[in-house]
Structure 1
Amino acid sequence: MRTAPPTRRPARVLLTAALCALTLGAAATPAAADSAASARNHPAEYYLALGDSLAAGYQSLPGGGHVVGRGYAQDLARTLEGRAHAAGRPFSFTDLGCPGETSGSMADGGCRYPHSWSGSQLTNAVSYLKAHRKDRVVVTLDIGANDVDGCASGGSLDLPCALNGIATVRRNLDRILGELRAAAGPHTRIVGMNLYDPFLAAWLTGDQGKALATLSVPLAGALNGVIEQVDAAHRVPTADVAGAFDTGAFLPMVPLGGQLVPLNVARVMQWTNMARGDIHANDAGYQVIADAFLAEL
């Protein structure tokens, strides 16, 4: 007999109600095709990756340290380059992703990780798009995880922190997409991305961890709901990374490391580096993300 994951029912009811109220702030509208037929029939010659550490391709290494430039953007660039070359077209890839970037620092500047550009990532992206208004460009964007990353730690969820972070993402993402849209030419396709839930890994740490993992799913759902709503308002499709990671699937139970765990927990442990405390995707997970973007391209 399958049993539901343990929950702290009053806490989850409160969390769900608060997050639902937040995500009802804007009604989702269908994401209109962004010159879709033309873009799909004529491969892109330029690819611009925007966002945080996932866009930058950040991964920790087993023996310590980390690498940047080994992520979904690089996987996606290889596919787009192959399509362009098969059609006899040139191809150029630019990655402005900055590890640690929040929606606010992306808009206003201040990413703390060393990077090659000055000013804000958004300003540089707008300049890039204006310079390529007549070209066929693909833009991918992931942002928002760092706005709520500190809201689930120490075995508990900070609800006010989560609500504030999600509201901040709504406000800043609306600005970011508005400016990108205004700068983009008629042959530019912009694709956003929702997020997987690394806090599901807490399930493996005992009863308190199972409660945190369970509560983290409505948090992820609320953040993703806001991302999808804002994307849709700007006619930007959203790559369904959360769906690819089965984020909401506590059933079925599947084998992992000699025990049975929920499917969503297994996905996070298999496709990220959470086994060593790193929330970033591993090579397999980054390919899953790339495939989710490709489904929209």
Structure 2
Amino acid sequence: MRTLMPGRSRLAVAAALLTATVLGLGTAPATAATATAGRDDVPRHYLALGDSLAAGYQSTPDGGHVVGRGYAQDIARTLADRAATRGRAFDFTDLGCPGETTGTMAGGGCPYPHPYADSQLAAAVRFLREHRDERVLVTLDIGANDVNRCAAGGSIDVPCTLAGIATAGRGLSGILTQLRDAAGPRTRIIGMNLYDPFLAAWPTGEQGRATALASVPLSNALNAVIALTDAAHGVPTADVARAFGTNTFLPMVPLGDTKVPANVARILQWTAMARGDIHANDAGYQVIADTFLALL
């Protein structure tokens, strides 16, 4: 059964889940790899990890899709240019896999074709060990697919979402533990929180507005779990949710012959949600890239 909760109940349940999830996390002090690396903004290697956003997935108007045109490619171009101006070598490896959850990233089984026989995490660990003595930048986005399945049919299944948030927090913690263990002293890992694509339901009517409003506190709960999990492992978080203005309902801005909240307009501007695809478009991916690059 799919349900929508009233505002205060949504916030109370999301906060309760967040507290329970965070209390279950192990706390690990930052290592030299995350605490001191990154003083130079040009790494020798850039390793992109995560799901379809990391893979650069975009749908096309004809119903197809492309992969390899996302924020990781935008970051790689910027870093390659910086390296070239300084006469340095640079290479880029993208292991992101569309459809990846925290579970499949760690255990294998990504539903999209990928270049590794076991799991993305195992491939990442091998890469980091092979380049342990070099300067490496790692970006990571994961967790969206642990919860996105809970918003099918135009409404939000709240119990499913809360369970997905808890799963994402536990899975992310395990992933970061293994990445940190494999990372050398000159490796820098940066995580990422998530924009809220379900804000795009707002213009579809009363039910759509209810879905959009319900999605925000749940999105905030997921992003808080991501940030706290990253922090427990000494990893900074690129605040993509803030860059997308997830909580910015005002001002109301024009959209066709009506007006919508600013955050709704932003989602429709920077993603393909107008045709039902949660993925960012070129403009949205560049915003994500810039959010990561600001931390360098």
Match of 1:19 among 8, 14, 23: 14
**Are 2:5 and 2:214, in contact at CA under 8 Å, matched by a contact in 1?**
no
Give 1:127's aligned residue: 126
* Residue aligning to 1:49: 48
Change beyond 3 A, Cα 1:138–1:281: same
Amino acid at match of 1:15: R
Offset of residue 12 of structure 1: 2.2
TM-fit CA distance, 1:98 = 0.3
Q: Distance in 2 between matches of 1:234 and 1:177?
A: 7
Report the 3-state secondary structure (helix = DSSP H, G, I; strand = E; otherwise coil) of the residue aligned with 1:152. Answer: helix
**Relative to 1, partners in 2 of residues 1:10 and 1:147: Cα closer, same or farther, differing over 3 Å?**
closer
> Which stretch shows the higher mean deviation, 247-256 or 26-35?
26-35
The TM-score normalised by the length of structure 2 is 0.93
Are residues 1:195 and 2:194 paired? yes
Secondary structure at the aligned position of 2:38 is classed as helix
Q: Distance in 2 between matches of 1:42 and 1:164?
A: 38
Residue 185 of structure 1 is matched in structure 2 by: 184
Cα distance in structure 1, aligned partners of 2:28 and 2:171 = 21
- Asked if structure 1 preserves the Cα contact closer than 8 Å seen for 2:102 and 2:168, the reply is yes
Structure 2: gaps of 5 or more residues: none
Say which SS state the counterpart of residue 145 (structure 2) adopts.
helix
Contact 2:239 2:291 in 1 (8 A): yes
- Give the corresponding residue for 1:77: 76
The alignment-based identity, stated in percent, is 65
| CA distance in structure 2 between the partners assigned to 1:30 and 1:87 by the alignment | 36
Q: CA separation in 2, counterparts of 1:196 and 1:35? A: 25
Match of 1:137 in 2: 136
* Cα distance in 2 between the residues matched to 1:67 and 1:31: 39
Q: 2:12 is matched by which residue type in structure 1?
A: A
Structure 1 position 153, deviation (Å): 2.7
Aligned pairs for 1:1-297 (under 5 A) are: 11-25=6-20, 26=22, 39-41=38-40, 43-297=42-296
Judge which range, 38-47 or 78-87, deviates more. 38-47
- Secondary structure at 1:135 match in 2: coil
User: Does the CA-based 8 Å contact 1:253-1:261 persist in structure 2?
Assistant: yes
User: In 1, are the aligned partners of 2:4 and 2:155 still within 8 Å (CA)?
Assistant: no
RMSD: 2.0
